């Protein structure tokens, strides 16, 4: 058997109250009040689809031997590159080997489930070989648009494999595909454009999702009411009501997180599935349906192994780790919708030297340092000479993946002079658990939140963006250790 | 067996420009002032100079690379001009080059000249530069100098379990004292005494350092002409000789940045250079024997930890010494009698020579009563270039016969 063997989620720390959007932009388009309930998750200025996917992947892979991973798939509609495979950045950050299959899935909101189907088929064709599916999206609507109200930023990840590890056995799928253009972004377009919402609701969601579910039921001789947990994205209340009628009695339908996160695009079905797995019980039948340019419908049966995976991983702890985004203008600046003056330090030309990057790519993507074979000292960044002054041997180093090791604050500061989209720039010296130190940027905290000795986790982030050459560069930052929700 | 530099070299003449926002002068113009004053003080002409060392760190807007700018701008007589660039120790490195040049017997008379013109960079504070190589653009923090030095304060407070308020009180006194001294000095950039309330209440730059915990940014140049004591006695038979007693440089090993042992509350290179310098100069008890110091107060917290790194204050004891006025101009060991980097700003290549200029003139008793150090025996200068966990420290000690 093949199926899902772990799950992870990620919601960025900052949440924008939708009434704040209405308060700022309602003068232009008063009708957005109809969506002005709850809050939406907003990626920090240094987060994007790749970094949120990595965060979810790290959550999903806690305790998993990275060398056992055979494939890494990445799904998004907001990839930062047209040519450069994002999945390889994700794989590097997750500490996967080089000898793996990698692929990007994009172009539709169902690309997350397309990646999941490919991973399941990969596992089935390769004796249960492990594949990681990471999805993240960070879609933009124009100021005062419905999309701006509805969309949220998040990431989700699923580990697929075989046999004893499986927590939700894959039972089958059914897909429908349509060139149904309800939402569209051209190759050079930043903001989403959509057609009339009543048409999207009635002809889109309320027709295609039931069509896919019915197709699945017919194919596997099931009744829609047989499912114990149902996951599908749809933020139209009317359409949800109609679709929910298919599943009979009981509280089966997974919350769509519209009030807490917003629609996270390609990641959203996987994010909801991840949340569903946090409370799933052995034997339950689970239905997953995506929506966008058609639908993928898939079903799973939860195994006894689920209880071992319900250990605090998943989206709940990230939902609990929240802070208000205190003004709408900050949202605009963080998302690149309004140009801020950063002073002369913001103009520094930081050219990306690709041959240097390639030489250091393990250190940059995976926070891969070294352990000295002679004295055991850890060090970062890698070098040929041991940093321990009592040792100092040359060429006796072996690589060590530090991204999942965590650390502690040795020193810190908060710098108003450094050019930052979230001043002051907080950074400091981190002592890695297991030894070694480095000075790095901190994220998701203010100076009053931290003290010398505090535990830290590492988070893959956008390090800087080179606007002249359109290159985002990534590296790890330290964040206050995230408490697990038991 | 190496015998060190002690008593092998003395200063024949020095010059130092006014430091400040010298919008009207290029780096070359500033060097002309420093050289002219140094030659006049030494009673020499350009043709007497046999070799020169140019100390400059990041000013490539005016200077470009190498030593040619100095040779061509000062119209030196086709002598060797070597550019030395070693962060904030660059000025002291230029002095060291010239001193070693005459001590080796290769030259009789050599010039050390330092200059930096920061005000053409357009930055408040030091300009961004890949000071540690471009790898660090990808692997290092989005940091500035104040933020990197501010971490000394968080580590210091944690190590000695001293409340940050007490550390802040002490570093406020550091800046207050330097402004008191600088106000009396016509060459200083910032010449206003400021109250402790103003310092304490200044806007935060990098926690816990406020605006008045940071030194200024300025343009300036300083020069020294050095020779051997034998030649100096012949050229200036009636003058006291200001002699080099020690010159030490220490460069980080990478241990501080990467290994777990360093406490973060002091600077290993300063500690190392100081230990070697005291040995070279024959100093046993620096707290008692040293009469005056110019140390690298790029930030007030740097001066605080330096008092311990130099072995003047006991570990954890610098705040007490500072607040007791030990380092005030009328205290037991005046520190920054000229106003320090705090008031002079920090034209990097010039700063080390500016400090030596202060020692030299104090020894010769050339300053007015209100800022003179009485009967100095040993004078120490100190530079710290780079960042606390990766840097170069220089210590120079002078004495007079």
Tell whether the model's pLDDT for residue B401 goes beyond 90. no
pLDDT at B1: 85
Q: Which residues does chain A have within 8 Å of residue B148's beta carbon, measured at their own beta carbons?
A: 413, 439
Q: Which residues does chain B have within 8 Å of residue A415's beta carbon, measured at their own beta carbons?
A: 143-144, 146-147, 150, 205-207
The alpha carbon of residue B230 is apart from the nearest alpha carbon of chain A, in Å, by 43
Q: Which residues does chain B have within 8 Å of residue A388's beta carbon, measured at their own beta carbons?
A: 255, 259
Which residue has tokens 């850890």? A378
The alpha carbon of residue B145 is apart from the nearest alpha carbon of chain A, in Å, by 9
| Rounded distance between C-alpha atoms, residue B299 and residue B292, angstroms | 19
Instruction: Supply A212's token pair.
Output: 């896919």
Tell whether the model's pLDDT for residue B128 goes beyond 90. no
Instruction: Supply A218's token pair.
Output: 């017919």
Name the strand (E) or helix (H) holding B275.
helix B268-281
Q: Are residues A296 and A255 in the same domain?
A: yes
Residues in Cβ contact with B54 at an 8 Å cutoff, skipping those fewer than 6 apart: B67, B69, B70, B81, B82, B83, B84, B94, B113, B114, B115, B349
Q: Are residues A352 and A257 in the same domain?
A: no
Tell whether the model's pLDDT for residue B130 goes beyond 90. no
Position A484 confidence tier, pLDDT thresholds 50, 70, 90: low
Q: Which residue of B has its CA nearest to A424?
A: B206
The alpha carbon of residue A412 is apart from the nearest alpha carbon of chain B, in Å, by 5
DSSP assignment string, B73-139: HTT--S--EEEE-BTBTHHHHHHHHHHHHHHTTS-SSEEEEEEEE-TTS--SSSPP--TT-THHHHH
Name the strand (E) or helix (H) holding B383.
strand B378-387
> Does B205 contact A417 at a Cβ distance shorter than 8 Å?
yes
Position B132 confidence tier, pLDDT thresholds 50, 70, 90: confident
Q: Which residues does chain A have within 8 Å of residue B259's beta carbon, measured at their own beta carbons?
A: 377, 379, 387-389, 436-437
Q: Are residues A363 and A301 in the same domain?
A: no
In a domain, A373, yes or no: no
Instruction: Supply A333's token pair.
Output: 């600046």
> Does A424 contact B207 at a Cβ distance shorter than 8 Å?
yes
Position B169 confidence tier, pLDDT thresholds 50, 70, 90: very high
B10, B16, B57, B88: the active-site residue? B88
DSSP assignment string, A189-248: --S-EE--HHHIIIIIIHHHHHHHHHHHHHHHT--GGG-SEEE-----HHHHHHHHGGG-
> In this structure, what CATH number is given to the domain that contains residue A197?
3.40.47.10
Q: Partners of A16 in the beta sheet? A: A40
Q: Partners of A474 in the beta sheet? A: A462
Q: Are residues A255 and A358 in the same domain?
A: no
In a domain, A131, yes or no: yes
A357 → closest Cβ in B138, B254, B258: B138
The alpha carbon of residue A448 is apart from the nearest alpha carbon of chain B, in Å, by 10
Residues in Cβ contact with A425 at an 8 Å cutoff, skipping those fewer than 6 apart: A414, A415, A418, A419, A441, B141, B142, B143, B147
Q: Which residue of B has its CA nearest to A379?
A: B258
CA count, 13 A, side-chain hemisphere, B216: 23
In a domain, A384, yes or no: no
Report strand pairing: A130-137 vs B242-251: unpaired
SS (H, E, C) B317-346: CHHHHHHCCCCCCCCCCCECCCCHHHHHCC
pLDDT per residue as tens digits for the range A138-169: 999 999 999 999 999 999 999 999 988 899 99
> Does B259 contact A473 at a Cβ distance shorter than 8 Å?
no
Other Cβ atoms less than 10 A from the Cβ of A215: the count is 16
The alpha carbon of residue A436 is apart from the nearest alpha carbon of chain B, in Å, by 5
| Rounded distance between C-alpha atoms, residue A337 and residue A318, angstroms | 26
pLDDT at B131: 84
B151 → closest Cβ in A350, A413, A419: A413
In a domain, A274, yes or no: yes
Instruction: Supply B6's token pair.
Output: 């002690």
Q: Are residues A257 and A173 in the same domain?
A: yes
Average model confidence (pLDDT) across chain A: 97
Q: String of b and e for B222-243 (b: at least 16 CB within 10 Å)?
A: bbbbbbbeeebeebbeeeebbb
| Rounded distance between C-alpha atoms, residue B236 and residue B148, angstroms | 46
Annotated active-site residue B88? The verdict is yes
pLDDT at A486: 43
Annotated active-site residue B346? The verdict is yes
> Does A348 contact B128 at a Cβ distance shorter than 8 Å?
yes
pLDDT at B177: 98
Q: Are residues A357 and A324 in the same domain?
A: no
A344 → closest Cβ in B122, B146, B150: B122
Which residue has tokens 């996270």? A264
> Does B207 contact A413 at a Cβ distance shorter than 8 Å?
yes
pLDDT at B59: 87
Q: What is the mean pLDDT of residues A366-380?
A: 98
Q: Which residue of A has its CA nearest to B153?
A: A411
Instruction: Supply B175's token pair.
Output: 């800046």
Q: Are residues A297 and A415 in the same domain?
A: no
| Rounded distance between C-alpha atoms, residue A5 and residue A305, angstroms | 9
* Interchain contact B255–A (C-beta under 8 A): yes
In a domain, A381, yes or no: no
The alpha carbon of residue A385 is apart from the nearest alpha carbon of chain B, in Å, by 10
B143 → closest Cβ in A360, A427, A463: A427
Residues in Cβ contact with A358 at an 8 Å cutoff, skipping those fewer than 6 apart: none
Q: What is the mean pLDDT of residues B93-109?
A: 98
Q: What's the length of chain A?
A: 486
pLDDT at A62: 94
> Does A437 contact B257 at a Cβ distance shorter than 8 Å?
yes
In a domain, A378, yes or no: no
Q: What is the mean pLDDT of residues A99-122?
A: 98
Other Cβ atoms less than 10 A from the Cβ of A458: the count is 23
Cα dist from A424 to A416, B3, B147, B356, whole Å: 4, 50, 10, 37
| Rounded distance between C-alpha atoms, residue A96 and residue A69, angstroms | 6
* Interchain contact B257–A (C-beta under 8 A): yes
Residues in Cβ contact with B41 at an 8 Å cutoff, skipping those fewer than 6 apart: B12, B13, B14, B15, B225
Q: Are residues A208 and A111 in the same domain?
A: yes
> Does A418 contact B142 at a Cβ distance shorter than 8 Å?
yes
Tell whether the model's pLDDT for residue B393 goes beyond 90. yes
3-state secondary structure of A288: strand
Q: Which residue of A has its CA nearest to B127?
A: A345
> Does B206 contact A427 at a Cβ distance shorter than 8 Å?
no
* C-alpha distance across the termini of chain A, in Å: 30
B206 → closest Cβ in A344, A413, A475: A413
Instruction: Supply A261's token pair.
Output: 């996160």
B147 → closest Cβ in A363, A364, A415: A415
**pTM (whole model) above 0.90:** yes
Q: Which residues does chain B have within 8 Å of residue A383's beta carbon, measured at their own beta carbons?
A: 254
Which structural domain range is residue A236 located in?
2-334
Q: Partners of A427 in the beta sheet? A: A413, A441
CA triple A113-A115-A121, angle to 5 deg: 100
The alpha carbon of residue B225 is apart from the nearest alpha carbon of chain A, in Å, by 38
> Does A388 contact B264 at a Cβ distance shorter than 8 Å?
no
* Interchain contact B154–A (C-beta under 8 A): yes
Instruction: Supply B290's token pair.
Output: 């040293």
A435 → closest Cβ in B127, B134, B260: B260
Q: Are residues A349 and A330 in the same domain?
A: no
Q: Which residues does chain A have within 8 Å of residue B217's beta carbon, measured at their own beta carbons?
A: none
Domains and CATH numbers, chain B: 10-119+219-243 (3.40.47.10), 145-216+244-400 (3.40.47.10)
> Does A387 contact B254 at a Cβ distance shorter than 8 Å?
yes
3-state secondary structure of A344: helix
In a domain, A42, yes or no: yes
- CA A387 to chain CA mean position, Å: 35
Of A56, A121, A95, the closest CA to residue A274 belongs to: A56
Q: Is-contact B382 B303, C-beta < 8 A?
A: no
> Does B144 contact A415 at a Cβ distance shorter than 8 Å?
yes
pLDDT at A485: 46
In a domain, A392, yes or no: no
Q: What is the mean pLDDT of residues A4-14?
A: 98
Work out the percent of chain B whose per-residue pLDDT is above 70.
100
Q: Which of B127, B147, B305 is most worth mutating to test chain A (most A CB atoms within 10 A of its CB)?
A: B147
> Does B144 contact A418 at a Cβ distance shorter than 8 Å?
yes
Q: Partners of B251 in the beta sheet? A: B392
B134 → closest Cβ in A356, A414, A416: A356
The alpha carbon of residue B260 is apart from the nearest alpha carbon of chain A, in Å, by 6
Of A291, A312, A334, the position where a domain reaches its end is A334
pLDDT per residue as tens digits for the range B279-316: 999 999 999 999 999 999 999 999 999 999 999 999 99
DSSP assignment string, A34-102: GG-SSEEEE--TT--HHHHHHHHHHHHTTT--GGGEEEEEEE-S--S-SSS-HHHHHHHHHT--SSSEE
pLDDT per residue as tens digits for the range B8-55: 999 999 999 999 999 999 999 999 999 999 999 999 999 999 999 999
* C-alpha distance across the termini of chain B, in Å: 26
The alpha carbon of residue A421 is apart from the nearest alpha carbon of chain B, in Å, by 11
Q: Which of A89, A354, A409, A411 is most worth mutating to test chain B (most B CB atoms within 10 A of its CB)?
A: A411
Of B88, B14, B114, B97, the closest CA to residue B360 belongs to: B14
B173, B296, B346, B382: the active-site residue? B346
Q: Are residues A358 and A328 in the same domain?
A: no
Q: Are residues A101 and A14 in the same domain?
A: yes
> Does A412 contact B154 at a Cβ distance shorter than 8 Å?
yes
Q: Partners of A441 in the beta sheet? A: A427
> Does B141 contact A389 at a Cβ distance shorter than 8 Å?
no
Number of domains in chain A: 2
Q: Are residues A175 and A205 in the same domain?
A: yes
């Amino acid at each position: 058997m093949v199926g899902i063997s772990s799950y992870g989620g990620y919601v960025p720390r900052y949440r924008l109250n939708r009434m704040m959007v209405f308060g700022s932009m309602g003068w232009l388009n008063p009708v957005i009040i109809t969506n002005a309930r709850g809050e939406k998750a907003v990626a920090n200025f240094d987060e994007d689809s790749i970094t949120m996917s990595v965060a979810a992947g790290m959550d999903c892979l806690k305790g998993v031997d990275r060398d056992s991973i055979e494939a890494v798939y990445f799904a998004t509609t907001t990839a930062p590159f047209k040519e450069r495979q994002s999945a390889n950045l994700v794989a590097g950050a997750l500490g996967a080997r080089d000898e793996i299959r990698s692929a990007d899935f994009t172009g539709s909101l169902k690309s997350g489930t397309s990646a999941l189907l490919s991973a399941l088929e990969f596992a089935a064709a390769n004796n249960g070989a492990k594949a990681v599916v990471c999805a993240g999206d960070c879609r933009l609507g124009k100021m005062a648009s419905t999309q701006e109200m509805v969309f949220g930023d998040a990431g989700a990840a699923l580990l697929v494999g075989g046999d004893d590890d499986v927590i939700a056995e894959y039972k089958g799928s059914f897909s429908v595909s349509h060139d149904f253009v309800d939402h569209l972004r051209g190759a050079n377009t930043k903001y989403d454009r959509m057609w009339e919402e009543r048409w999207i609701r009635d002809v889109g969601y309320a027709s295609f999702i039931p069509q896919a579910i019915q197709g699945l039921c017919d194919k596997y001789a099931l009744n829609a009411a047989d499912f114990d947990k149902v996951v599908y994205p749809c933020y139209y209340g009317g359409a949800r009501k109609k679709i929910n009628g298919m599943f009979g009695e009981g509280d089966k339908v997974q919350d769509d997180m519209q009030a807490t996160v917003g629609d996270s695009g390609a990641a959203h079905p996987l994010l909801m599935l991840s949340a569903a797995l946090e409370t799933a019980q052995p034997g339950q039948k689970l239905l997953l349906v995506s929506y966008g340019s058609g639908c993928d419908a898939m079903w799973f049966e939860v195994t006894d192994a689920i209880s071992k995976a319900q250990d605090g991983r998943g989206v709940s702890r990230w939902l609990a780790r929240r802070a208000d985004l205190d003004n709408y203008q900050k949202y605009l600046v963080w998302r690149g919708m309004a140009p801020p003056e950063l002073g002369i330090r913001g103009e520094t030309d930081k050219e990306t030297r690709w041959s240097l990057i390639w030489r250091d790519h393990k250190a940059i993507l995976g926070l891969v340092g070294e352990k000295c074979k002679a004295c055991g000292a850890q060090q970062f960044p890698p070098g040929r000479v041991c940093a321990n002054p009592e040792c100092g041997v040359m060429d006796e180093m072996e690589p060590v993946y530090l991204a999942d090791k965590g650390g502690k604050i040795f020193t810190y500061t908060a710098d108003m002079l450094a050019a930052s989209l979230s001043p002051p720039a907080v950074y400091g010296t981190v002592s890695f658990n297991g030894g070694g130190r480095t000075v790095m940027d901190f994220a998701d905290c203010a100076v009053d939140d931290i003290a010398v000795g505090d535990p830290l986790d590492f988070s893959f982030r956008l390090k800087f963006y080179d606007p002249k050459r359109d290159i985002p560069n990534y590296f790890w930052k330290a964040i206050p250790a995230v408490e697990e929700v038991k | 067996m190496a015998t060190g530099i002690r008593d092998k070299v003395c200063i024949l003449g020095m010059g130092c420009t006014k430091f400040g926002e010298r919008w009207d002068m290029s780096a070359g113009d500033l060097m002309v002032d420093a050289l002219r004053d140094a030659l006049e003080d030494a009673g020499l002409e350009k043709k007497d100079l046999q070799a020169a060392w140019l100390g400059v760190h990041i000013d490539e807007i005016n200077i470009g690379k190498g030593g040619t700018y100095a040779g061509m701008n000062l119209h030196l007589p086709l002598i060797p001009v070597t550019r030395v660039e070693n962060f904030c120790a660059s000025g002291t490195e230029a002095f060291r080059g010239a001193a070693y040049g005459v001590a080796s017997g290769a030259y009789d008379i050599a010039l050390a000249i330092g200059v930096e013109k920061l005000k053409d960079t357009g930055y408040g504070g030091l300009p961004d530069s890949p000071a540690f190589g471009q790898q660090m653009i990808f692997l290092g923090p989005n940091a500035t100098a104040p933020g990197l030095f501010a971490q000394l304060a968080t580590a210091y407070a944690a190590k000695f379990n001293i409340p940050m308020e007490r550390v802040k009180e002490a570093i406020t006194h550091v800046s207050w004292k330097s402004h008191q001294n600088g106000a009396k000095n016509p060459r200083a950039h910032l010449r206003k005494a400021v109250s402790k309330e103003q310092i304490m209440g200044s806007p935060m730059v990098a926690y816990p350092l406020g605006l008045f915990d940071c030194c200024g940014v300025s343009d300036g140049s300083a020069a020294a002409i050095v020779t051997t004591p034998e030649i100096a006695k012949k050229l200036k038979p009636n003058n006291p000789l200001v002699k080099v007693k020690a010159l030490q440089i220490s460069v980080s090993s990478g241990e501080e940045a990467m290994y777990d042992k360093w406490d973060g509350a002091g600077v290993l290179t300063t500690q190392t250079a100081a230990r070697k310098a005291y040995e070279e100069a024959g100093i046993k008890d620096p707290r008692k024997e040293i009469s005056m110091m110019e140390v690298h107060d790029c930030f007030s917290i740097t001066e605080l930890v330096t008092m311990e790194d130099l072995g003047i204050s006991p570990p954890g004891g610098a705040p007490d010494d500072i607040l007791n006025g030990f380092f005030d101009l009328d205290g037991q060991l005046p520190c920054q009698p000229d106003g320090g980097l705090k008031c002079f700003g920090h034209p990097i290549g010039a700063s080390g020579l500016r400090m030596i200029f202060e020692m030299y003139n104090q020894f010769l008793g050339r300053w007015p009563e209100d800022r003179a150090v009485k009967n100095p025996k040993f004078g120490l200068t100190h530079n710290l270039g780079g960042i606390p966990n990766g840097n170069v420290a220089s210590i120079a000690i002078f004495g007079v016969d």
